[in-house]
Each structure stands twice: as structure tokens, then as C-alpha cells.
Chains A and B, each alone.
Chain A
Amino acid sequence: DTGVSQDPRHKITKRGQNVTFRCDPISEHNRLYWYRQTLGQGPEFLTYFQNEAQLEKSRLLSDRFSAERPKGSFSTLEIQRTEQGDSAMYLCASSFDRVTEAFFGQGTRLTVV
């Protein structure tokens, strides 16, 4: 399978715990994006990388959120001290240069209890 892969698919955590998600993009893609989707909303942009450089961050990405793409391949998104409002689907996408040609992964569903 050469699509965008996200792990885990589902995560249930207690409020205050830290969680980390992983995204493996399509191998030749240099760009990787993180979006968040809450119930009844469309996906909202969080951040994106070109190779290992994080080029843009949304104001939605609070200080508790951090994303890395250390070798320009896979990426991780960490949420520290989770809150119930963090419950959402976290989507990763990748593309070669143009965001308008991005492919999305299946997402990680986070539930904070």
C-alpha cells in the first residue's frame, strides 16, 4: 500500500495525559500536512512541512501541540496535557509541492475522557 498511513487509528486517553500520533506520507512526497476535524466541521489546517522544515502553523496549534518531521519522511504530532476539547479526528496528508494535489490518510480518532 503506497497511500498515507496514520497510526493509531483510534486513541482513547484520560484528560491530562500526553498522546503522540504518527503519519507516514507517500514516499516521494516532500510536503506533509496536519489537519483536525471536529464533529460537524470540515477539516481545519494545523501545520505543514516541506521536507523537514515546518513552514506554517495555524493559530489552532496551541503551545500544547508540537509536530516534527525529523528526517523529512514520517511525522509525529504530540499533544501534551490533553483536554476534552482536543477530541477530534486528526488527519495527515501529503503531496509533492502543491497542496491542491494532496492525499489524505484515514486519520486518527482521539477521544479524551
Chain B
Amino acid sequence: AQKITQTQPGMFVQEKEAVTLDCTYDTSDPSYGLFWYKQPSSGEMIFLIYQGSYDQQNATEGRYSLNFQKARKSANLVISASQLGDSAMYFCAMREGNAGGTSYGKLTFGQGTILTVHP
């Protein structure tokens, strides 16, 4: 079974509007972390946001927020006020186990969603 599922191969959004990128995950480990990365055509993976499984509040980083629904095992990324520079591939990823434990630095990635922002 896929551990990370991103069901939207491509998404389109108008500049200045908000967009939600979907991510569902599968794990039996009570301790895990969820990450979102942006990968522009240059290839670099840019860290956007992190959510720990025990975090009570949804994570936010500037225009990025993570809609964490633990019971549904979903961790959707919300980008507010989209900009042309947001056009890129977006990856959801998960680390199972405790941060700093044996799974330190080991992420499982989804297939990605290509976001295109229209002017």
C-alpha cells in the first residue's frame, strides 16, 4: 500500500487565489512527521512546512498552512494568495517514528502535484 498518496497529478489556480493540495498517508506508528516540499524546475527541494503527529495546532509558515486531520490521515497543504512563482511540483512526505530516532532523515515521498498559477 502507498504510504503517501497525492491524488492530484496537476492543479491550476488563478493568481491571488487560495489552493489546496491533497495528501493522505498511511502508518501504524503513533509518532510521525509530515513535510511538504516545493520543487521548481531547477530541481532543488525547498522545505515549506512540517507537522508532527502530536502537534495540537495546524502548522503555518507565512502563506502556507497545513490542514492536519489525524483521524482521516490527511495533511493537505493550503497556499493562500497564490503567486506566479508558486508554479512548481509539490511533494508531501512522511517520516515514521520519533524525530531523532532510527528514522531520522528518512522520508517517504508521494508522487507529487504540479501546480500552475495563471495570471
Do chains A and B stick together as partners? no
| Chain B contact residues, CB within 8 Å of chain A | none
